[in-house]
A and B are shown apart, each in its own frame.
Chain A
Amino acid sequence: MIRLRQVLKRYGSTIALDNISLDVSTGEIFGFLGPNGAGKSTAISLICGLVKPDQGEISVDGLDIRHNALEVKRRLGLVPQEIALFDNLPAWDNVEFFAKLAGLRGALLKERVSEALEFAGLADKAKGVPKGFSGGMKRRLNIACAIAHRPKIIIMDEPTVGIDPQSRNHILESVRQLNKLGSTIIYTTHYMEEAEEICSRIGIIDHGRLVATGTKEELRLLVNEEEKIVIEGTDLNFTCLEQIKALGLVKDARTKGQSLEILTPHAQTILQDILFILQRNLVKVRNITLVEPDLETVFLSLTGRKLRD
Chain B
Amino acid sequence: MNILSLVLNDLKQTAANKVTLALLLVLPVLMISLLGYAMKPVFQPDKGLKKFSVLYTNQDPGPVGRSLDSFLHSQGGNLLELVPVDSAALDSQVLSGKYPVGISVPPDLSQRLGQGDKSKVEVVSSGRDQVTDKVVRSLLDSFAAYTNTQTALSQGYQNYLPGTQGDTASSRAGQNLARVQSRFGTDFVSVQASGPALDPFQFFAATMLVFFLLTTGMGVGTGIINERTSGVMTRINSSPIKRSEYLLGKILSNLVIALVQASGVILFTHYAFQVNWGSSPLSILFILTPVIFISSALGIIFASILSSAKALTSILSIVFWCMTFVSGGFTPVPVLDPVARFTVNKWAFNSLSSLMAGGTLSNITGNLLALFTTALILWLGAIALYQRRLAA
In the complex, A51 has a CB within 8 A of chain B: yes
Q: Is B74 an interface residue (CB 8 A)?
A: no
User: In chain A, residues 77-104, which have Cβ atoms closer than 8 Å to a Cβ of chain B?
Assistant: 78, 80-89, 93, 97-98, 100-103
With A70-B242, A105-B1 as contacts: A84 and B16 at CB distance below 8 Å: no
User: Residue on B with the closest CB to A77?
Assistant: B238
Nearest opposing residue in chain A for B234, CB measure: A80
Structural contact, A78 and B234, CB atoms closer than 8 A: yes
Contact call A88/B17, Cβ cutoff below 8 A: yes
Given A80-B231, A86-B232, A102-B17 contact (CB < 8 Å): no
Distance in angstroms between the alpha carbons of A86 and B151 in the assembled complex: 86
- On whether the beta carbons of B232 and A76 are closer than 8 Å, the reply is no
B27 contacts partner chain A, Cβ-Cβ < 8 Å? no
Known interface pairs A97-B9, A100-B5, A105-B1; A84-B235 also in contact (CB < 8 Å): yes
Interfacial chain B residues near A87, Cβ < 8 Å:
230
Residue of B nearest to A70 (CB): B240
The winner among A76, A78, A81 for most chain B CB atoms within 10 A is A78
- Does A73 sit within 8 A of B, measured CB to CB? yes
For B13, the chain A residues whose CB sits under 8 A away are 86, 88-89
Residue of A nearest to B245 (CB): A101
Q: In the bound complex, do residue B231 and residue A81 qualify as a contact, i.e. CB atoms below 8 Å apart?
A: yes
Instruction: Chain B residues near A103: list those with CB within 8 A.
Output: 240
Chain B residues with CB under 8 Å of A101's CB are 2, 5-6, 236, 239-241
A residues within 8 A CB of B17? 88
A218 to chain B, nearest CB (A): 31
The verdict on B237 contacting chain A, using a C-beta distance below 8 Å, is: yes
Compute the total of residue contacts between A and B using a CB distance below 8 Å: 74
Which parts of A167-200 form the interface with B (CB within 8 Å)?
Answer: none
Which chain A residues numbered 102 to 117 have a C-beta less than 8 Å away from chain B? 102-103, 105
**Using a CB-CB cutoff of 8 Å, which residues 1-33 of chain B contact chain A?**
1-2, 5-6, 9, 12-13, 16-17
Query: Who on chain B is nearest to A72 by CB?
Result: B240
CB within 8 Å for A102 and B240 given contacts A88-B13, A88-B16, A97-B9 = yes
Shortest CB distance A249–B (Å): 47
How big is chain B's contact interface, by range? 20 to 34
Q: Which residue of chain B has its CB nearest to the CB of A81?
A: B231
Contacts of A52 in B (CB 8 A): 391
Q: How far is the CA of A102 from the CA of B240 in the complex (A)?
A: 6
Nearest-Cβ distance from residue B377 to partner chain A, whole angstroms: 28
Asked if A15 is at the interface (CB within 8 A of a chain B CB), the reply is no
Instruction: Give min CB distance, B239 to chain A, whole Å.
Output: 4
Min C-beta distance of B238 to chain A, whole Å: 4
Contact of A84 among B12, B231, B240, B241 (CB under 8 A): B231
Interface flag for A146 (CB, 8 Å): yes
* Contact among B5, B9, B237 with A86 in the assembled complex (CB-CB below 8 Å): B9
> Do B238 and A85 touch across chains, with their CB atoms under 8 A apart?
no
A1-45 Cβ-contact flags toward B at 8 Å (1 or 0) = 000000000010000000000000000000000000000000001
Closest partner residue, chain A, to B9 (CB atom): A97
Q: Closest residue of chain B to A88, judged by CB?
A: B16
Q: Complex: how many Å from CA A157 to CA B202?
A: 56
Q: Mark A50-81, 1 if CB is under 8 A from B, else 0.
A: 11100000000000000000110110101011
User: Known: A86-B9, A86-B13, A88-B13. Contact between A50 and B240, CB under 8 A?
Assistant: no
Say yes or no: A73 contacts B235, CB within 8 Å: no
- Within B335-392, the residues touching A (CB, 8 Å) are 391-392
**Distance in Å: Cβ of A73 to nearest Cβ of chain B:** 4
User: Does A156 belong to the interface (CB within 8 Å)?
Assistant: no
What is the CB-to-nearest-CB distance from B257 to chain A, in angstroms, rounded to a whole number? 16
Q: Which residues of B contact A89 (CB under 8 A)?
A: 9, 12-13, 16
User: Does A141 interact with chain B (Cβ within 8 Å)?
Assistant: no
Selected from A74, A84, A86, A100, the residue in CB contact (under 8 A) with B234 is A84
Q: Are A83 and B231 in contact (CB under 8 A)?
A: yes
- In the assembled complex, the CB of A259 is this many whole angstroms from the nearest CB of chain B, namely 38
Most A C-beta atoms less than 10 A away, residue of B12, B16, B239 = B239
Measured CA separation A88–B226 after assembly (Å):
13
Chain B residues in the interface with A (C-beta under 8 A) = 1-2, 5-6, 9, 12-13, 16-17, 229-232, 234-242, 391-392
**What 11 additional pairs, Cβ within 8 angstroms, besides A50-B238, A78-B238, A86-B232?**
A49-B238, A51-B391, A80-B231, A84-B232, A87-B230, A88-B13, A88-B17, A89-B16, A98-B235, A101-B2, A146-B235
